[in-house]
Each structure stands twice: as C-alpha cells, then as structure tokens.
Structure 1
C-alpha cells in the first residue's frame, strides 16, 4: 500500500516537472520529446509483452498501428528525418509542370500508358487506375496526380 502511494506521488511529481519543462521549451524540442516518450512507451509495452509471453499481442498491436504510423510519418515529414538518420538520401520531387506549355495528345497517351486512339472508356479507366495508385491522399505525388489529370483533360476535352 505504501509502495503504491509512493509510486503515485513520484508519477505526479514527474508529470508536474514535465509540464513545467514543456511550458518553457520551444515547440520543436517539445515535439521531439513527445516522439521520444511515445517511442519509449511503445518499446516498454513491447518488452512487457515479451516478458509476459504475449508476443503474439505485440505483433497484433504492431500490425494495427503500422498504417497509422506510416501516415503520421508522411503527414508530419518524419519520414525525411528518418531517412537522414539512417543515411538514406531522400528522393527529390519532380519539377512542377510548366504551365506555359500545353500537353500534346501523344504525351497524354504516353502518361496514361495507352495506345494512340484509345476510346473514352479506356482513358477513364487508365486515369482511375493510375490515380488510385498515385493520389496524394494515398501517399502519392501531387505533381504526378496533376499530370494525370492534365492528360485526361487533354484527351477528353
């Protein structure tokens, strides 16, 4: 009973110190600290699952969190930081399309991967298929999505 009371007091004191530090630090340092604490809690939970023999639970939690972690890394730019930490070079985004040039039908067919003279249904299907794979909301590039839309508009008018 006394041990639990001491642990609760220590936890409350730690929370008070953390809040005091967060109120004085810069947002960038606070963000890094929160990420470190979150990762530390994930590692601690993983170790607890391994020690208690519930390793399958760890895999289930990791599988459930994987899409959320991947999206957060893309949305918050953490992926580029991860690449820098691991020594990987981030790929440079393609240049934006030159708005002064008009896309030719031949270029549009090439972008959509169609043979010249494809019918309207084939154009729509190719555009739909490529947009599913390259839409910015699904982690694709805005530049590629813009080029796909421009190709579709060029061919369909």
Structure 2
C-alpha cells in the first residue's frame, strides 16, 4: 500500500516538470500566431522584432529574482508605450513628404532608451504602392531621435 502511495506522489511531483515543456511550446505557438496576425511574415526583420518584443514582455512579466524588479533611478520617468507610438506617429505625419496611412505594424522595444517603430503606406503620386518605416527613440519622456527609411 505504501509503495502505491509513493508511486502516486512521484507521479504528481513529475507533472509540473513535464507539463512545463508543453506550456513553453504553447507560448511559442501563441507568439508565432500573434506576430503573424500583426501582418509580419516568418523570416523577415519585422517578424524577428515582433518575437523579440513578445519574449521581452514575457520575461518582464516573470517575477524577478529576490522578489524585486530593477526600476529606473529615483525620479526618472519613462514614456508609456502608447504615448511613444502616438508621438512617433505625430512626428512622422509632420515630416512626411506625401500623405501616409498607418499600417497595423508597430512595435515598442523597452529599455532605458525606449524605441518605437511604425510602418506607413505612402500615397505617392505615380507609385502603385510604397512603404515608409519610421523609428523613434525616447529617453525618459523626450524623443531623442527620429529616423525614416
């Protein structure tokens, strides 16, 4: 009787170990689906950046060692992801040489210097379809760099 109890306890102890591989594969498949839903294509730079962003967000969601996360220095504020995208789009519309239409592809890369990337379709006369990608970097609440390609 005690042998069957021991076997049950061992089995129950191993469930989380073997179950975690499935959840990691599920998370990987979910990240893949999300990036494809955003309009990226496997093997492209946009797809890689999407996967990296989702992985970073997943890492940030996990509890940090010793029960605490590394926070910005006291008094330092950082711009929110939504505001970073909004400010980047506003700046792009100010400097765009032609009318632009925002596409669904946009990413925010966290860090001490936050980076927002957006993709636009350009309504350029005489062109069937053109795209314009912009990157904005932020330190604290201020935009420090804007580039377009």
- TM-score normalised by the chain length of structure 1: 0.31
Higher strand fraction (1 or 2): 2
Higher helix fraction (1 or 2): 1
- TM-score normalised by the chain length of structure 2: 0.32
